[in-house]
Structure 1
Amino acid sequence: MFDKTEAGRHIPENGRVLFTCKNGKIASVRILYDDEYVASLKVLIDLASMAGYRVILEDDPES
């Protein structure tokens, strides 16, 4: 782990980086590939909905 103030040393010149923090320190750094995206579950459901899919609970009696 390293201090957040040291993050600049781990950022590439080009690209996207995912930092994972634990107890105020950076625990891991990973460069994201061009075909990778980071989103919340809500955003994923919204995107699926915009694409015409319905996301429902498996035991939903109305489905």
Structure 2
Amino acid sequence: MFKKTEVGEHLPDNGRVLITCKNGKVTALRNIYDDEHVASLKSLLELAEQAGCVVVQSGKTKI
């Protein structure tokens, strides 16, 4: 853990990073790779539907 003001010392020169904070301290840093995306579940479902997928809740399908 380290202070938020110290986060710059731990960041890569290039790229995206996911930062987790707790009680005003940085508790985790994770590099986000080029083949990864970060989104909420709602956003992911919206993107899937826009791509033509049908999103169905488990157990709600009738054949």
Which TM-score bucket, shorter chain as reference?
Answer: 0.7 to 0.9
Could you list the per-position Cα deviations for residues 26-56 of structure 1 after superposition, in whole angstroms to 9, with x for gaps in the alignment?
Answer: 0011111110111000110011001101112
* Partner secondary structure for residue 26 of structure 1: strand
CA apart distance, 1:62: 7.0
CA distance in 2, matches of 1:46, 1:32: 21
Quote the sequence identity (%): 56
**TM-score, with structure 1 as normaliser:** 0.86
Where do 5+ consecutive residues of structure 2 fail to align? none
Could you list the per-position Cα deviations for residues 9-31 of structure 1 after superposition, in whole angstroms to 9, with x for gaps in the alignment?
Answer: 11211100111111221001111
Instruction: Give the match for residue 12 of structure 2.
Output: 12
Corresponding residue pairs, total: 63
List structure 1 runs of 4+ shifted beyond 4 angstroms: none
**TM-score, with structure 2 as normaliser:** 0.86
- 1:31-46 alignment runs, 5 A limit: 31-46=31-46
Instruction: Give the match for residue 57 of structure 2.
Output: 57
